[in-house]
A and B are shown apart, each in its own frame.
Chain A
Amino acid sequence: MTVTVLLFASYADIVGRSEIELDVGTGATVKDVIARVRALGDAHRLPPAPMVAVNEQYASHDRELEAGDEVAFIPPVAGG
């Protein structure tokens, strides 16, 4: 199944992309997606346990994903 990974701000700079379509196995978790993304090029410079949102809501790393989920890596926020 495919999930969409979104990268923002400093994370997008590190990876050099802001969106990645990733093919993952059924039952894959957020943790699996983090490992897959960190294996890409310079992405090992991403923190090992970044904040993640699934479908626009903060999610735990144990969260099981479904096809079509949007998995966003959220750098430390700095609004205001």
Chain B
Amino acid sequence: MYSAIVEGPIDIARMVERVSKSANGATVLFLGTVREVNDGRGVTGIEYTAYRSMAERELAAIVEEAAVLADSNDVAVEHRLGELAVGDCSVAVAVAHPHRARAFEGARYVIEELKERVPIWKREQYVDGTREWVRATSTHTELVDAGEDR
């Protein structure tokens, strides 16, 4: 199990290595990246800040819960802080298991819980030069927005 808050670029290959072992037949890697548009506004970058000590504690707890859920200790998450540009990777989750179902379940759990609980905030920088703190969107809201509510 591995969890960390980092300030430099996330090494994606290293994240996969952290959960890799010969007994695992399935590895799920989730990457969150800065996108160029949010709510119809052009975004040039995002600044991530955190209550760092608590964020580290919450991330570690989430990884432990995911390990139980996925029945695998091969769970890793890294979240980046600081100024990120469009296309930069802000978060990486890697979960491996002998079979894919548990790996998907574990990875999904980590990212959803991270978004609910971990004290990290982002301030978007827009093409017009303004900046704003972003209010969290739940998965539910995103599905509703996309007309895919179930």
Residues of A in contact with B (beta carbons under 8 Å apart): 6, 8-10, 13, 53, 56-58, 72, 74-80
- The count of A-to-B residue pairs whose CB atoms sit within 8 angstroms is 68
Q: Which one of B18-26, B50-58, B63-71 is at the A interface? A: B50-58
If A8-B49, A8-B51 touch, whether A77 touches B111 (CB-CB below 8 Å) is: no
> Are B121 and A77 touching (Cβ within 8 A)?
yes
Q: Does B115 belong to the interface (CB within 8 Å)? A: yes
With A and B bound together, what is the CA distance between A9 and B120 in angstroms? Answer: 9
Selected contact of A80 from candidates B49, B90, B119, B123, CB within 8 Å: B90
Q: Which one of B7-15, B98-106, B130-138 is at the A interface? A: B130-138
Residues of B in contact with A (beta carbons under 8 Å apart): 32, 48-51, 53-55, 57, 79, 90-91, 111, 114-123, 133-136
Least CB distance, B58 to chain A, in whole angstroms: 8
Selected contact of A77 from candidates B32, B53, B91, B119, CB within 8 Å: B119
If A8-B121, A9-B123 touch, whether A79 touches B115 (CB-CB below 8 Å) is: yes
Least CB distance, A3 to chain B, in whole angstroms: 16
> Are A8 and B114 touching (Cβ within 8 A)?
no
